[in-house]
Structure 1
């Protein structure tokens, strides 16, 4: 592959990833959203984050695991996050627990 093909491919990939992110934002910015839609949109980041991290916590060797150090750490971090309402404290708690439990 020569450099020109690579640059064209890189630009094409950028456009293909930019359009699906930009179009909904442009559409939603121009139209008035209902309260119901706003409430529904608030749950999207939590759902995406959960979908990303749950497999790492609960799946090991393609099997569901219910007793593991990751689950213990996740539960402790969840409680700390609820009590402190601080992402920094929650992250430091999780990192500290991973360090001390020898993950």
Structure 2
């Protein structure tokens, strides 16, 4: 029996192989780019929404607190001033009136 040793050459087009490998790489890069764009875009939108929401909520809270405090302090001041003036006016007027005369309020 005779042993036949032969070499089989397969014809490979180097450019075709390079092109196929290159397309795989491009597809991976494209997929990475698309995924990266989704991540970056969502991150930017999330940050803008959080800051915007925080700013709106803060403005509502700060404004209502300031107005409420201002209103409460103003009411205390006005009430206190009016009440004090009325007491002082009544006392002074009553003290300076003649006996038997009363102040008209």
TM-score by length of 2: 0.29
TM-score by length of 1: 0.29
Rg larger in structure: 2
Q: Which has the higher contact order (CA 8 A, sep 6+)?
A: 1
